[in-house]
Amino acid sequence: MKHASTQNTSGTTLNKLRLLVALPMIIIVLGFGYIIGDAYTQLRDFDRLKQSVQTVKLVSNLIDSLQLERGVSSGYLSSSGEDFKKVLAEKRKAVDSALTILEREGTLSYRALEVIRKRLKALRSTVKGRTIAPSSAFEAYTRIIREFQVDYLKLLTSVDDTDIKTRLMAYTNLTYLKEALGQMRGGVNGLLSLKKPDRKLMHMVMLARGEYIASLERARSLQEPYYVKKLETVIDSPQFHYLASLLEEMEKHQFDVQTIQPREWFEKSTALINRIYQIEKEYLYEIDASIEKRSKEIYLKLAFNIAALILTTVLTFLLAFRLKNDVGRTIRLLEEYKDAVDRSNIVSKTDRSGRITYVNEKFCEISGFSAEELIGKPHRVIRHPDTPKEVFDKMWATILARRPWKGVVKNRKKDGSDYVVEVTVNPIVNNEGEIEEFISIRHDITEILHMHETIEQTQQDLIYRLSEISEARSKETGFHVRRVAEYSRLLGKYCGLSEEEIKHLVTASPMHDIGKVAIPDAILNKEGTLDDEEREVMKRHAAIGYDLFKDSDKPLLKAAACIAHEHHERYDGKGYPRGLKGEEIHIYGRITALADVFDALGSERCYKEAWPDEAVFAYLRAERGKQFDPKLIDIFFEHLDKFLAVRNRYSDSCS
């Protein structure tokens, strides 16, 4: 009966140990899998939403340009053509530019756009040769515009976000309203240029007027109060009254084409359309703001999930420690059953002088020594030199006082390798209270320690991944942050930083531009030079990155806060955000500044080409003592071959 009970206790102990090791890893793997999968799905859907909205904006811009070309074409065909020739060429150029941008950046079918191009080319040819009636040209342009409006409506069906889809539908009313006004502008322009009534053109104008009235009513019913008020302001404008009175005259057949100049009409009607266009642009801005809000919600959700994972992991490890205590209590029970302990643990016994009197098979397996090689020897035969002598002095003082001693000890195997055990040494006392012997029960925790090292490495990898997300938003490669980290390692090493400082610098430097996650895409990925206002927005990323980490008491995150805050400071004090000078700038900031600029100058970006090496080196030398720490510049050129080797190893062409 005692033997059965011992087996059950031993089995429970082993199961708890397995759970102690496996459970945290299972939770971490599942947690990271869920977070990565969920984030990927949401970011993919969000990217599709942004692409759809971007295409809607490009289509809207193209329709506006086509409306202008249609209106000018009507005037060109209905007159001698000379008054409209130059303007028509400008409008056609604007349409071609808008169509090219739509082909390059939109999501519409390339083949469909090619068909439209061919039709537009044929239509322009007949207009240029004046072989088509104004009304026919007007109809042909209108058909093309309507096809784009249909594509526009199809794009709306791909938008899953209810709020943004509602806003886009409301925006559609504005575009149809503007198109109706554009038809009236072109039709009336043709009539005025002909200087005589044309039934077909007048009929088109009246149909457009009906569509305009219907679109206006829909806009009033669906738009938000703020934009309804803006529409009412347009309706009360002189341009609108001019349009309304002229159309009333046309409806009552009192319209005199001889008394009104085409240019006057075209300018006033265009001014009215432009006011609608301004409302349309403002509404698009609101839609962009909604998308930006959605983006923040996605990243907040991701942050929440990560926090939940961390909390779950902490709770899991607390449970693991609790299980560990249970294992300790179980081991104390097994002290009464030495034979059971012998089968389930690494066990040794020593006499009162500390010489080994017994080792079990597990002891031999882990140490590599045979029982014959160990019996009669002191325990120092497996002692590792990394374990301080004070540990053993304290142990002997404790067990000689008839108290059990517990600790973690690093041992040495026969082949010279090491292993780590959690050991409990208990004095065995006889009835007279004298110590008979000591029994040591050990648990191998080498794998657990290795697991902790793996988790630490995973944390470093996570920092790299977060850095790569930031760089991906600005269309830069993940190798940029790795190169900056390795350049920082070299600079830290050669300028005399400690190993711990270099470790923090290398791990934290990839986070130097993390603040860019809060910079709008329109500025972050702008092609060409930023204006002053945009540049000030861009500069905020240094303070944003600092705010993310400034309240942490962890050395690594403190280093990340420092680097994010100071990597745009200049040695001559002309940098930002605080204008620090010389060694007022932390060495981490000075190192990362040089590493970042060296890599940025030699890399291609959406707003610039990569500089040749000669130009990069010349710039760095010129900025010695100005933008950069002169000592670091000297170190850089002294060890230039090392930096170039890093660049080659992590080049953007790597797969």
The three state secondary structure string of 290-357 is HHHHHHHHHHHHHHHHHHHHHHHHHHHHHHHHHHHHHHHHHHHHHCCCHHHHHHHCEEEEECCCCEEE
Over residues 145-153, mean pLDDT: 77
Nearest CA among 489, 511, 484, 483 for reference residue 502: 489
Q: What is the DSSP string of 603-623?
A: S-BTTBPPPPHHHHHHHHHHT
On the question of pLDDT at 617 being above 80, the answer is yes
User: At residue 456, does pLDDT exceed 70?
Assistant: no
Q: Is the pLDDT of residue 645 over 60?
A: yes
Whole-number CA gyration radius for the chain: 39
The mean pLDDT value for 491-509 works out to 92
Stronger pLDDT, 586 or 8, i.e. the higher one: 586
Higher pLDDT, 165 or 398: 398
Q: What is the largest CA-CA distance in the chain?
A: 132
Average pLDDT, the chain: 79
CA 40 to chain centre: 11
Instruction: Single out the residue of 129, 127, 57 nearest to residue 91, CA to CA.
Output: 127
pLDDT class of 581 with cuts at 50, 70, 90? very high
Q: Report the distance separating Cα 83 and Cα 63, nearest Å.
A: 24
Please tell me the predicted confidence (pLDDT) of residue 494. Answer: 95
pLDDT at residue 475 is higher than 50: no
Residue 654: predicted pLDDT? 45
Which of 410, 406, 352, 358 lies closest to 382, judged by CA?
410
Distance (Å, rounded) from C-alpha 17 to C-alpha 574? 59
Maximum mean pLDDT: which of 90-99, 180-189, 268-277, 549-558? 90-99
Q: How many CB atoms lie within 10 A of CB 18?
A: 10
pLDDT above 70 coverage of the chain, percent: 79
Nearest-angstrom CA–CA distance, 398 and 417: 29
Checking if the pLDDT of 523 tops 80, the result is yes
Q: Is the pLDDT of residue 95 over 80?
A: yes
pLDDT of 588 higher than 80: yes
Contact residues for 250 (Cβ-Cβ < 8 A; gap 6+): 188, 202, 205, 206
How large a percentage of the chain has pLDDT more than 90?
18
Q: In angstroms, rounded to a whole number, what is the distance separating the alpha carbons of residues 129 and 123?
A: 10
pLDDT of residue 407: 82
pLDDT at 330: 52
Crossing angle for the helix pair 587-601 and 478-494, to the nearest 10 degrees: 130
Residue 420 clears pLDDT 50, i.e. is over it = yes
Residue type, 315: L
Average pLDDT rounded to a whole number, residues 326-336: 55
Compute the distance between CA of residue 630 and CA of residue 643 in angstroms, rounded to an integer. 17
For the chain, give the number of residues: 655
Q: How far apart are CA 73 and CA 86, in angstroms?
A: 11
Looking at residues 221-230, what average pLDDT do you find? 71
**pLDDT of amino acid 6:** 41
Please give the pLDDT value at position 459. Answer: 52
pLDDT digit string, tens, across residues 121-144: 999 999 888 899 877 888 888 888
Phi-psi region of 573 (alpha: psi -120 to 50; beta: other; left: phi over 0): left
Q: What is the mean pLDDT of residues 546-561?
A: 86
Neighbour tally for 220: CB within 10 Å: 14
Which one has a higher pLDDT value, 468 or 172?
A: 172
